[in-house]
Amino acid sequence: MAVPSVALYASPPSSVCSTSHQINAHVFAVCRRLVDRFFGSEADRRRPLVPFRFAGADGGEALSSSSSSSFAGGGDELARQERGEEFRELSSSLSSSFRYSPSKFGGSWKRDHQSPVSVLHGPVSCSSNSSSGNAGAKSFPARTSRDRNDVNVLGSIQRGYNGMFSGFVRRAVASCVELEMPPVEVRGDSGGAADVEELTFNLEDCFVESDLEPYAKELLVNAQLRHKIFCDEFVIKAFYEAEKAHRGQMRASGDPYLQHCVETAVSLALIGANSTVVAAGLLHDTLDDTFMSYDYVLRNFGAGVADLIVGVSKLSQLSQLARENNTASKTVEADRLHTMFLAMADARAVLIKLADRLHNMATLDALPLVKQQRFAKETMEIFVPLANRLGIYSWKEQLENLCFKHLYLDMHTQLSSQILESFDEAMIASAIEKLELALKDKAISYHSLSGRHKSLYSIYSKMLKKKLTMDEIHDIHGLRLIVENEEDCYKALRIVQSLWPEVPGRSKDYIAHPKLNGYQSLHTVVTGDGMVPLEVQIRTKAMHLQAEFGFAAHWRYKEGECKHSAFVLQMVEWARWVVSWQCEAMRNDQSSIGHVDSVKSTCTFPTHMEDCPFSYKPLSDQDRPVFIIMIENDKMSVQEFPPDSTVMDLLERAGMGSSKWTPYRFPLKEELRPRLNREPVGEPTCKLKMGDVVELTPALPNKSLTEYREEIQRMYDHDLTMSRPGRSTSTLVGWRS
């Protein structure tokens, strides 16, 4: 079996505010003081990580790093900013998910033996004001005394969360998937990639402090306080370019457009994306909305960033088409759209699009009600499932909660007042501690112990689906314990049931009696402290991998009984792999500079080992179906074609029942020809590619051709520029996505 030929190197956090940009010295001095306060002194940060070796899947060794809790990305999620006298919460998304690293009792546990999967299951916002989690710094809610108490709890999340990423791919994928990766290359893989040397730059040459308005400086410092990647020169350069490009543009809310770019990039940084992705997040709207050209981005940031922005732009166009045509309201169409999105773009472009949508949803209030509803509906239909498939559960839940609020305001208000009162985070934290002590006492070592409370929307859907009242939902508060072997599952169950009284009839043994999809786990509901029902799930690592990646994968469990083709499964697996690998590489190689677009160039689709029970025949590129968008008479549909299909095949399909589009009738007149990605088709035998948009002009249009073309043009132009009184001096860029 092939061993991943990738070496992940650890580096000390010396890159924190390491820029030498003198003119920004003041900003960085402030930043450094605050970073010191929250991340420890320079000396602490420079403390080298102790690398450890782990056995590769074939017994070989690869180098990884222990996830030091002192600085790694997960810890940045817990970064707090201090403004004036008052701590403000940087992200309400920190409030509801708990991860607790196991203590080192038993002597056999290393840091990498922590939570194996759900890598992107970061903290989740469940509150009715979850929108603030992604809003600009000025709208962060002040911390309450209850919040302050949570800081200790969050500290323990930090430890566990860092550990979650360590060795993720090896554990999560390599156990049933064979990885083949060519060595890391320095160049991006897309044509025209610039040499690294060409991309080196001196910030001092490029910018002067007076270039930045005070609000922009504040945005940069705030971002730096929330994640140290914003001290990386490459990212700072992207920030300056974004600022220059969007200068004068405002959001519908009246906020500077730059704030949206920063919030998008911060969300990406918080899930562990590297500087290429974060820089692309900062610049994601520049090609569509500003004077900046692809070539300019390519020259200054390399093909890695430029191609990601193009990918995001294409996703934006397609999602707008889908929104305007209500395409995703049908299950089959929606499913094809999700697959196409994942298949046509670098999975990281989808990630940026999701982060962009997350902030747009969090600031939706500025738009008219009808638009709020349209965007919320589209988000629910397209973006929530994408976040689910990619395994970014924290984003999925934030998006769901926001959509819920905009689509069903009354229900949301009613439920949130009921539920938010009853969320008992302190209970979860103390239950984790209590169980940890008891496990230690009985010398049962475990891999990870985590807790979460169910999100508002998840509670609502469960009530609806199962016709339950809130009191009948027993998993509002839950713990999950991952142990080494089956025997320990049962031992741990007995311990749980000795700590708290069992709720009769709620225990399930899916180990002895696996579900049809292979799901295995022990479930019990106990009455926790304060008489709060607490669901505890106990399983082994292998069972957990199955629940996250196998046939019983949570995304499929959540999507219900849909039948997915092998192609869809592969796409999802591939996308999750890219995203997870990216995040892990980032965490393990904190010094990586954005223009080294290693992921794209080293990413080869993982294949299952022969004896893997969950293997399916991997499809080569030539065997993969092609999904395209077809626009015909104002109607848009997502069509699946066999590999190697041509425009002619599409015309034949479209012309079924009429001879309108037979090969003999391919119109000679250019303006009557179908258009492929906006250009008239030259050769009807040209091959269709994933994500192509084909417009079929009606042979005898009801409207004049000009009118029809204008309509299509409007669909492409997704710049919903809105005019606002009193703002004539600056361009006002409305909410768009």
Ligand X SMILES: Nc1nc2c(ncn2[C@@H]2O[C@H](COP(=O)(O)OP(=O)(O)OP(=O)(O)O)[C@@H](O)[C@H]2O)c(=O)[nH]1
Q: Which spans of this chain sit near ligand X (rule: CB under 6 A)?
A: 475, 508, 515, 517, 519, 523, 547, 552, 554, 557
Closer residue to ligand ATP (CB): 558 or 687? 558
SS3 (DSSP) at 88: strand
Q: How far apart are CA 371 and CA 710, in angstroms?
A: 22
Out of 554, 564, 624, 709, the only residue in the binding site for ligand ATP (CB under 6 A) is 554
State the binding partner of 455 from ligand X, ligand ATP, none, CB within 5 to 8 A by kind.
ligand ATP
Residue 419 and residue 404 in contact, taking contact as beta carbons nearer than 8 Å: no
State the binding partner of 454 from ligand X, ligand ATP, none, CB within 5 to 8 A by kind.
ligand ATP
State the binding partner of 517 from ligand X, ligand ATP, none, CB within 5 to 8 A by kind.
ligand X
Closer residue to ligand ATP (CB): 28 or 519? 519
Q: How many residues bind ligand ATP (CB under 6 A)?
A: 18
List the strands of the sheet with 97-100, edge to edge: 97-100, 446-453, 477-483, 533-540, 522-527, 508-509
Bridge partners (DSSP) of residue 524 are: 536
CA Rg, the chain, in Å? 26
State the binding partner of 444 from ligand X, ligand ATP, none, CB within 5 to 8 A by kind.
none
Look up residue 273 and give its DSSP letter. Answer: -
List the strands of the sheet with 626-632, edge to edge: 635-641, 626-632, 693-696, 675-676, 679-680
State the binding partner of 373 from ligand X, ligand ATP, none, CB within 5 to 8 A by kind.
none
State the binding partner of 458 from ligand X, ligand ATP, none, CB within 5 to 8 A by kind.
ligand ATP
Listed residue (501, 561, 498) closest to 528, CA to CA? 501
State the binding partner of 524 from ligand X, ligand ATP, none, CB within 5 to 8 A by kind.
none
Q: Residue 535 Cβ, how far from ligand ATP at the closest point, in Å?
A: 5
Contact between 535 and ligand ATP by CB under 6 A: the answer reads yes
Closer residue to ligand ATP (CB): 28 or 395? 395
Q: Residue 576 Cβ, how far from ligand ATP at the closest point, in Å?
A: 13
Contacts of 338 (CB under 8 A, 6+ apart): 382, 385, 386, 389
Q: In this structure, what token pair is assigned to residue 230?
A: 């914003």
Contact between 428 and ligand ATP by CB under 6 A: the answer reads no
Residue 298 and residue 306 in contact, taking contact as beta carbons nearer than 8 Å: yes
Region for 467 from its dihedrals, namely left if φ exceeds 0, alpha if ψ lies in -120 to 50, beta otherwise: left
Question: Longest C-alpha distance within the chain, in Å?
Answer: 82
State the binding partner of 600 from ligand X, ligand ATP, none, CB within 5 to 8 A by kind.
none
Closer residue to ligand ATP (CB): 65 or 524? 524
Give the residue closest to ligand ATP by C-beta: 478
Out of 450, 524, 607, 639, the only residue in the binding site for ligand ATP (CB under 6 A) is 450
Binding residues among 98-137 for ligand ATP as defined by CB under 6 A: 118, 121
Helices 214-226 & 25-39, crossing angle to 10 degrees?
Answer: 30
Q: How far apart are CA 78 and CA 86, in angstroms?
A: 16
Q: Residue 114 Cβ, how far from ligand X at the closest point, in Å?
A: 19
How far apart, in Å, are the Cα atoms of 579 and each of 271, 536, 541, 714, 734?
10, 29, 21, 33, 30
Closer residue to ligand X (CB): 330 or 508? 508
Q: How far apart are CA 41 and CA 197, in angstroms?
A: 32
Q: Residue 581 Cβ, how far from ligand X at the closest point, in Å?
A: 21
Burial label for 222, CB within 10 Å (0-12, 13-18, 19+), is buried
Contact between 455 and ligand ATP by CB under 6 A: the answer reads yes
Q: In this structure, what token pair is assigned to residue 685?
A: 């035998």
Q: Which residues of 537-558 are buried (b: 16+ CB within 10 A; e: fewer)?
A: bbbbbbbbbbbbbbbbbbbbee
Per-residue binding letters, 476-495, with ligand ATP (x by CB under 6 A): --xxx---------------
Out of 100, 234, 375, 393, the only residue in the binding site for ligand ATP (CB under 6 A) is 393
Contact between 506 and ligand ATP by CB under 6 A: the answer reads no
Number of helices (H) and strands (E) in the chain: give both, helices first: 28, 17
Out of 96, 398, 537, 590, the only residue in the binding site for ligand ATP (CB under 6 A) is 537
Q: Residue 687 Cβ, how far from ligand X at the closest point, in Å?
A: 38
Q: Residue 540 Cβ, how far from ligand X at the closest point, in Å?
A: 14
Find the part of the chain contacting ligand ATP (CB under 6 A) among 445-453, 602-610, 669-677, 705-713. 445-453
Closer residue to ligand X (CB): 123 or 478? 478
Contacts of 64 (CB under 8 A, 6+ apart): 8, 10, 51, 52, 53, 54, 112, 166, 167, 170, 588
Distance of CA 654 to the CA centre of its chain: 36
State the binding partner of 121 from ligand ATP, ligand X, none, CB within 5 to 8 A by kind.
ligand ATP
Out of 159, 244, 452, 544, the only residue in the binding site for ligand ATP (CB under 6 A) is 452
Contact between 462 and ligand ATP by CB under 6 A: the answer reads yes
Contact between 595 and ligand ATP by CB under 6 A: the answer reads no
Cβ count within 10 A of residue 663: 10
Contact between 458 and ligand ATP by CB under 6 A: the answer reads yes
Closer residue to ligand X (CB): 133 or 391? 391
State the binding partner of 479 from ligand ATP, ligand X, none, CB within 5 to 8 A by kind.
ligand ATP
Q: How far apart are CA 310 and CA 464, in angstroms?
A: 40
State the binding partner of 552 from ligand ATP, ligand X, none, CB within 5 to 8 A by kind.
ligand X
**What residue has token string 């269709």?**
688
Task: Provide the binding-site residues for ligand ATP, judged by CB under 6 A.
Answer: 118, 121, 393, 450-452, 454-455, 458, 462, 475, 478-480, 535, 537, 554, 558
